[in-house]
Structures are given as structure tokens and as C-alpha cells.
A and B are shown apart, each in its own frame.
Chain A
Amino acid sequence: MLPFVIRAEQMRTLRAPFLAGFVDDARQHAQRRHPDVVATMGDDGLDTHVRDAIAEAVNYDLVSKRDVLRYLSLTLTFGLRWRDSPDRRWMHEAMSAGAPTPSVRGGSARLHALYREVLARLSRNEIADRAGA
């Protein structure tokens, strides 16, 4: 008997409603955990941000719901497109597959390491806010 295989078309069909539900979950996460930031975005702005963040997360090899929500939190705090920001480029490099720490393999592990580093730097007041203050 052939193993049961989910073809790409079936995957897309399965994935679409789940992703729609996930966007709702991500919006709720943003509203609950980052209400100050969300208040400045408006509904459309938040929706766009969530979808862009999910797209970026996939590019960083983040596939689990938890990792994507954590990544979303970071983008709500520090903005999107870290690659293009001189102040945030170190975060992009930490998330890239060629990250300097050899033991950090896989997007999830890299995100974990980055999250810890961000918290450590914030506790030492080493990260300026988005306005550059």
C-alpha cells in the first residue's frame, strides 16, 4: 500500500483556512500583548503588519505557531524589515541561516537565541526605541 501523501494542491487547500484562522489568532495576540502599538495602527494597518510578519517569519524558517507569534511580537516592538534598518540589522543577521553561532541551527533555535538576546539587551537599556530615542 502506498503511503498517504498530501499533494501540494491538497496542502494549499488544507492550509488556506488554517492560515485564515491563524491570522485571527495573531491579531488577537497582537491586541492582547501589544495594545499600545496596535492602537496606533488601525485595523487595516494591523492586518497588513500581521500578514507581512508571517511572510517574513516563513523566510526565516519559522513554521510553528509559537515561533511566528514570538516573531510577530518582535516586529511589533522593533518594526518589520530588519535587513533594511542599520539599527536592527543585527537582528536580521541573527535570524539568518548563516548566523555566526555554529550551535544555533534552524529558525526556531535562532529565534530563541535572538529573543533571549533582545531581552538581555533591553534589560541593559541597550536598544533604542523605534524612534531612535
Chain B
Amino acid sequence: MKLGQETDVDPRLASLVAADDATAEESAADAIVLPCGAAVPQLELKLLVWNVRELGGGFHMPRVRPDHCIDGYAALIAALGADVCVVTGLRAAPARLVTSEGGVLKYADEDVDTGVAEAKRLLASLKKAAAAGDWAMGVPSDAKDAIVYEGGTTTAVLYQRAGGRKLLSLDVVNGRADATLGVGGHLVRLSLELPLEGESPLTLDLLAPLGASAVTGEKAPAVTATLPASFVLAFSADDDLASNRGPLDAVQSAVSADSRPLLGHGSVLGDSFWQTTTRERGSLLTDYTAVSAADVDQQDDEMHWEALPDPKHPKAASDVAGSLGDAVLVRNAEPRARYAVRELRVVDMMRAALTADEIADAGGEGAAADEDNSLAGLRAAHRAATPYLSDTAPTTPQNIVAECADFLHLLSDHWPVLATFVVRAPAEH
């Protein structure tokens, strides 16, 4: 089921990019006249990119998310079998500190690493959900071990250590990205060593936005490394990349990344149905919490003037509106292509939140996916913990979809993007 409308992409673009990815298997250094014939050391990796909106608190989100929400992140990462997970959107929420000096109380606002604290909860949950992975987390920090932010936001990278994988470095590089992207001008660079049996270890160089647009007067983070020659770039923005190519083009040119086609499906969940209604007709609804937020049938019955038409609530998950905000880019600038993307897709969070029967009822289409049902139990926990959700609401498709959307909004408005790609050894000199 899709989130948002199909994008208007020239089919030749998708065809040529897929063809290019396919040829990445072939070493550019292997001449036709004398084929090398030797197998190139390589391994397949799954990268999950998730913009977890305002983890640690913000205008829309609480500082501390409930356990079923944190467990939801971990459950999905485990269900998808990800090797590396980039979590963007970690916030540092301000806290009022009160100190006493000589009997005089002083008040000061100071940012606290609430987002990183939440990410540590996520790591702890993930260690239980996928214990075999021996998961660890890296967060960019300076020489004094202080977390590095841009625009009050930072990024964490979760990675598996199983099999001897280890973090080589975690740096901040100057991405020269356009400030209007909402991703700031700096990137996190993670280098991960990937052991390969009988071969020299491979290296994954992964880039991701450090934070958000810098605040006026904010001191720029110290740059500790440079862009690698070849890399994988996880990109996330608030803009709709499908309707406005500007942000993606700017990032691509800023870091000289190879083009990737836009995803066919959206990755950002649209406004909740009642919010859409209030935005369009502000005088209609003043307090949507007066009735169960997940009972849209009741909202239609009790909260709209008869003279006005009812809002159109999605009956099927495929009708849920959204936009595209996330992408994965690859740059290969060495004689041998280091990275080849096998698959790039948006994780269908609606399928993840539905039970198997509900997927069928909500018009679920296509083959089963790894994420199916992985969050259904946690959605039930969300319902139990949320006063305005009711067990007594009729189980119509639109109510089920509405309840899922309510739960998913608590996780994030961004749906994660899963990239499966091959990491290859560089050409021998």
C-alpha cells in the first residue's frame, strides 16, 4: 500500500539507474580484452534510515516517549533485519536549571541531551529485541565528549557489532548543503569495518545529515573529517521531494552524489484526518479530543454541522495521504564501484501496525513484507495507554486506519526508508 501519490518520474530514468546499479557488479578496472575472472569481495547490507521527529521533545512531541513507542522502533528494526540504522531528528530540549548561590536562586535555560537519552532507551530495547546483533550506537561528539548539534538536532547511528564489525570513526564533515533543505550544512560520517571471511575487511562510509538548519548566531560544529571518495548518503528533509526537486538536487550537487530516482511512494505521513479538516475549515472543530480520535465515524456523527459535508476519511490504507521526504544516494568515485543499491523502499508502517486480518480488511495489496504485523501488539498497547482511544469504537476500516495513524504519528511522521545494497572492496592498486 502506498503513502501518497505516484511520482511523475520518467520511466527511462528508473530504467537507466537500475541498469547502472546492475553494472556496478562489473569492475570498471576489468578490461574486456583480459577478463580478471576473480570474484570481488563483497557483502550485502541493509540500511534503515528513519527521521524520528523530535525524539527527545519538541513542539509536537513529548520529551519522553512511552515504552510502547520506544519498543516499537526496536521491534521494527529487528523485524526488518537491518544491519545499520540511521536515526535522525534527535533533539536537545531546553530545561530550566535552578541554582542557589549564597541563598539567591538563579534560573537559567540549558539544553539537555534528551534526544540522545531517548536513543539510549531505543538501543536498550533493541538489544533485547535483536540480541544476536550485539547492537551499539554512535553519536557525534566533540573532544570534550559533548554531543554535537546543529539547529538543536543531532543524529545517532545504530549498528550491529556481531561478526566482529566495529566502528572505525564517527566524524562531522562539511556537506555544504543548502540551508533551505532543513538539514543544515554538516553531515555525520560513519566509517564501519566489516570483516569478511578469508578477505581483508571491507569499509562502509556512510553519511547522514547532522541536524537541522543552524539557528542564527549558532556556532558551527567543528569539522573533523572530509568527504570520502565513495559513500552512501542517507538523506531526509521536511520538503516534499516529489514536488520540489530543489532540495535533493542541491544535496546531490553539494556532495557530488550519483543520481538516484525518487522513490515511487511517499515517506512522510500526512496530517491526521481531523487536523486536515480543521486546517481547511478552522471554525468547524475546536476540540477534536472531545470524541475518540480514533473513532472517525463518531466524529462524523457528532462534530459536524449537518449542512456541511463530512470529511473524507480513508477507508483503505492506500488512501492515506503523504509526501516524499527521504532518499538514499550513492557516490562511486573510484575505479571500482564500491556500492550498488539492490533495493530501495519505504517501509509500510501501516502494514506494520495492522494485524494480518486487518491488512486484508484495509485493502492491503502486494506480497507480504518483513514489517507486516511487527507493531500490531504495540499499537494495542498504545490504545490501552491512550485515554482518548476507545476499545468500544466500531472496528470499521476507517477507524482501524485512523487508530494506526494516531499510533504512527507518535512514532514519527516520517516512515523509514530501507536500502539494501552491496559493499565491495576497492580495486587493488
A binds B: yes
> Please, which residues of chain A bring their CB within 8 A of the CB of B33?
11, 14-15, 18, 63
Range class of the B interface residue count: 20 to 34
- Which residues 1-48 of B sit at the A interface, judged by CB distance below 8 A? 9-10, 12-13, 15-20, 22-35
**Interchain CB contact (< 8 A) of A129 among B12, B18, B34, B245:** B12
A54 closest partner in B (C-beta): B32
Does residue A32 face the partner (Cβ distance < 8 Å to B)?
Answer: yes
Contact, CB under 8 Å: A66 / B337: yes
> Please, which residues of chain A bring their CB within 8 A of the CB of B19?
29, 33-34, 69-70, 73
Contact, CB under 8 Å: B28 / A120: no
Contact, CB under 8 Å: A66 / B27: yes
Does residue B259 face the partner (Cβ distance < 8 Å to A)?
Answer: yes
Contact, CB under 8 Å: B31 / A33: no
Majority-rule SS of A interface residues: helix
Contact, CB under 8 Å: B32 / A73: no
Does residue A99 face the partner (Cβ distance < 8 Å to B)?
Answer: no
Contact, CB under 8 Å: B12 / A115: no
Contact, CB under 8 Å: A122 / B31: no
The distance in angstroms between the C-alpha atoms of A14 and B31, with both chains bound, is 13
B37 to chain A, nearest CB (A): 10
**Interchain CB contact (< 8 A) of A64 among B13, B28, B249:** B28
Contact, CB under 8 Å: B259 / A123: yes
- Which residues 96-133 of A sit at the B interface, judged by CB distance below 8 A? 108, 115-116, 118-120, 122-125, 127, 129
The distance in angstroms between the C-alpha atoms of A66 and B13, with both chains bound, is 18
A130 closest partner in B (C-beta): B12
Contact, CB under 8 Å: B22 / A33: yes
Does residue B302 face the partner (Cβ distance < 8 Å to A)?
Answer: no
Of A73, A125, A129, most buried by chain B (CB within 10 Å of CB) is A73
B248 closest partner in A (C-beta): A123
* 26 CB-based A-B contacts, threshold 8 Å: A14-B33, A14-B34, A15-B32, A18-B35, A19-B32, A22-B32, A64-B27, A64-B29, A65-B27, A66-B23, A66-B25, A69-B19, A69-B23, A69-B26, A119-B16, A119-B17, A120-B259, A122-B12, A122-B13, A123-B10, A123-B261, A123-B262, A124-B245, A127-B10, A127-B12, A129-B12
Interface residues of B (CB under 8 A from A): 9-10, 12-13, 15-20, 22-35, 245, 249, 258-259, 261-262, 337
Known A64-B30, A122-B13, A124-B245; further 8 A-B contacts with Cβ < 8 A? A29-B23, A64-B28, A73-B19, A116-B259, A119-B16, A119-B17, A119-B259, A123-B249
